[in-house]
């Protein structure tokens, strides 16, 4: 596994977030993140990386304006909408610090949730932490869908995670940036959970707060999202089956800098 930095006084942290038509929320979100990062004694060097996913409102313009007075804000993006998965992957790839926290730009995941993570990161407990929502502030159909797909995800990967689909994750940067991510839509958080398990790491779950959107509406329809989630979970199951049969090679965990590549792992 990649070598997690030894216990240190501060954590070098990158925030990575996708944004699509979040003009009503993005300034408040970036402001909240910046205030937290600047003021927390356990955080040293920091940056905020936001990928604009081809927004058709003023999201990109607002981000560019914010970056003028916030040197720690890095804005990347696409000319046309490519889906949340692509935006998340691009934001992660553009980070450069030791640890990466993955957030949404709609304000549903307070960055103050990191209070429960930082001491455990500094203590070297592991390379992958995930926020388990105590109470999901989504409508009933979304909660049911998430619970069902999470249960199937746990069954496929022989895990028992409380919140398989949570997007609030803190992962060691070299590991996160090396993960091969394929999902194009809203299933990237599910895929990240699965990929980290595939390369031989266990997630450490920590309870977090989840709140309602700050404004605007979801960028995807429920029925389409439910269909895509079902198809994607089915794909993960098919992939696990092929890995166990040996039709696909087991992924090798990313090596630490300067080390030879690690051998593939036995699929659990």
| Amino acid 260: pLDDT | 38
pTM of the model: 0.85
Measured distance CA(101)–CA(8) in Å, rounded: 18
Q: Which domain holds residue 219?
A: 11-232
Residue 127 lies in a domain: yes
Largest Cα span, the chain: 54
Q: Which residues partner with 76 through β-bridges?
A: 51
Evaluate whether residue 245 is within a structural domain.
Answer: no
| Structure letter (DSSP) for residue 101 | E
Q: What is the CATH number of the domain that holds 63?
A: 3.90.550.10
Give the C-alpha separation, 130 to 114, whole Å: 10
Which element (helix H / strand E) includes 244? helix 222-245
Q: Which pLDDT does position 140 carry in this prediction?
A: 64
Q: What is the tens place of the pLDDT at every residue in 9-42?
A: 899 999 999 999 999 999 999 999 999 999 999 9
* Average of per-residue pLDDT values in the chain: 87
- Answer whether residue 1 is part of any domain: no
Within-domain flag for 259? no
The number of distinct structural domains making up the chain is 1
Q: What tens digit of pLDDT does each residue of 176-197 get?
A: 999 999 988 778 999 999 999 9
Write the pLDDT tens digit of every residue in 199-248. Answer: 999 999 999 998 876 555 555 566 777 788 888 888 888 888 888 888 98
Q: What is the per-residue pLDDT across 116-166, written as a single tens digit (0 to 9) for each?
A: 999 999 999 999 999 998 877 565 666 666 778 889 989 999 999 999 999
Q: Could you tell me if residue 225 is inside a domain? A: yes
Burial class for 132, CB neighbours closer than 10 Å (0-12, 13-18, 19+): middle
Whether 254 is in a domain gets the answer no
Residue 258 lies in a domain: no
Determine, yes or no, domain membership for 260. Answer: no
CA nearest neighbour of 34 among 113, 103, 97, 111: 111
């Amino acid at each position: 596994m990649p070598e997690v930095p030894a216990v240190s006084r501060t954590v070098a942290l990158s925030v990575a977030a996708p944004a699509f038509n979040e003009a009503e929320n993005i300034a408040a979100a970036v402001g909240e993140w910046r205030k937290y990062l600047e003021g927390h004694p356990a955080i040293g060097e920091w940056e905020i990386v936001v990928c604009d996913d081809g927004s058709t409102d003023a999201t990109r313009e607002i981000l560019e304006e914010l970056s003028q007075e916030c040197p720690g804000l890095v804005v990347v993006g696409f000319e046309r909408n490519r889906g949340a998965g692509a935006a998340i992957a691009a934001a992660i790839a553009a980070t450069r610090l030791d640890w990466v926290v993955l957030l949404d730009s709609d304000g549903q995941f307070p960055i103050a949730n990191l209070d429960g993570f930082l001491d455990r990161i500094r203590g070297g407990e592991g390379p992958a932490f995930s926020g388990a929502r105590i109470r999901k502030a989504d409508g009933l159909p979304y909660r049911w869908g998430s619970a069902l797909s999470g249960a199937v995800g746990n069954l496929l990967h022989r895990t028992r995670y409380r919140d398989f689909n949570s997007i609030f994750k803190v992962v060691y940067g070299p590991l996160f940036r090396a993960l091969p991510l394929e999902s194009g839509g809203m299933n990237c958080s599910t895929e990240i959970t699965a990929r980290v398990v595939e390369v031989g790491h266990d997630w450490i779950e920590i309870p977090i707060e989840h709140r309602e959107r700050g404004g605007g509406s979801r960028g995807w329809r429920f029925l389409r999202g439910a269909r895509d989630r079902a198809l994607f979970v089915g794909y993960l199951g098919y992939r696990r089956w092929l890995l166990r049969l040996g039709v696909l090679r087991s992924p090798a965990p990313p090596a630490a800098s300067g080390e030879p590549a690690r051998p593939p792992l036995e699929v659990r």
